[in-house]
Amino acid sequence: MIFIYNFIVGFVASAIGVIPPGLLNMSAAKISMKEGRKRGLLFSLGVCFTVMVQTYVALIFARYLDMHPEYVDLLQKIALGIFMAITVYFFFIAKDTRRSIPEELDRPKTNRIVSGMLLALLNLLPLPYWVYISITFTGFRWFTFEQPGIWAAVLASGMGTFMMLMLYVQFFRRKEDNPRFNVNMNYIIGFITAAISVITIIKIFNDF
């Protein structure tokens, strides 16, 4: 059962983490549209491999923090402030995502698996993100740092990332075919970060 909980948390959290428009998901969509689905698929696989490595490193660090509650309390309060600020940003400040993919995302047609891995290395956000997610859900007893639970979360993080990258590819393909298929993803992101903020508040109050 613990294995299943870790897998579910890992899959959902990784999918949510890839929702905000960024270099990785926009690049996957761009490559698929310009070079074909196969090369977009290879690029996404490279990204997922790096994400899985980052997830494993973050969970090992989170396991250490989990044994030092004084750091966890501070981390949760900082994270709450960050997620609340992100919620306000995506609801009221961020630019509308209903736009074309920027042309500057073009990349040379090199080995797409390698380029996906290297580009994902530039994104360090999965490290603090997974530290926060794992520690928070451990407090609810929905996550464990025991083996093979960690490996379940690592595998799920790759699968969740891959699924969301493929959804981005499909979204922009359909958007190009049908201009009416436009959704401002900022509102989706805002609702997600607001939900995470509520979960964090509940966790903080439960610790009192």
Number of Cβ atoms within 10 Å of the Cβ of 51: 27
Report the distance separating Cα 43 and Cα 54, nearest Å: 17
pLDDT means over runs of 10, the chain (208 residues):
88 85 80 85 93 94 82 72 74 58 48 88 83 83 88 95 88 59 60 74 70
Residue 154 confidence (pLDDT): 96
Residue 162 confidence (pLDDT): 94
Count structural domains, the chain. Answer: 1
Domain that holds residue 24: 2-207
Query: Exposure string (b/e) for 142-164, b if CB count within 10 Å is 16 or more?
Result: ebbbeeebbbbbbbbbbbbbbbb
What pTM value is reported for the model?
A: 0.73
Structure tokens at 4: 């299943």
Residue 196 confidence (pLDDT): 72
Report the distance separating Cα 90 and Cα 195, nearest Å: 13
Residue 66 confidence (pLDDT): 81
Query: Exposure string (b/e) for 97-107, b if CB count within 10 Å is 16 or more?
Result: beeebeeeeeb
Residue 181 confidence (pLDDT): 45
Residue 107 confidence (pLDDT): 47
Residues 6+ apart with CB under 8 A from 205: none
Q: Tell me if 112 sits within 8 A of 119, measured CB to CB.
A: no
Q: Tell me if 23 sits within 8 A of 167, measured CB to CB.
A: no
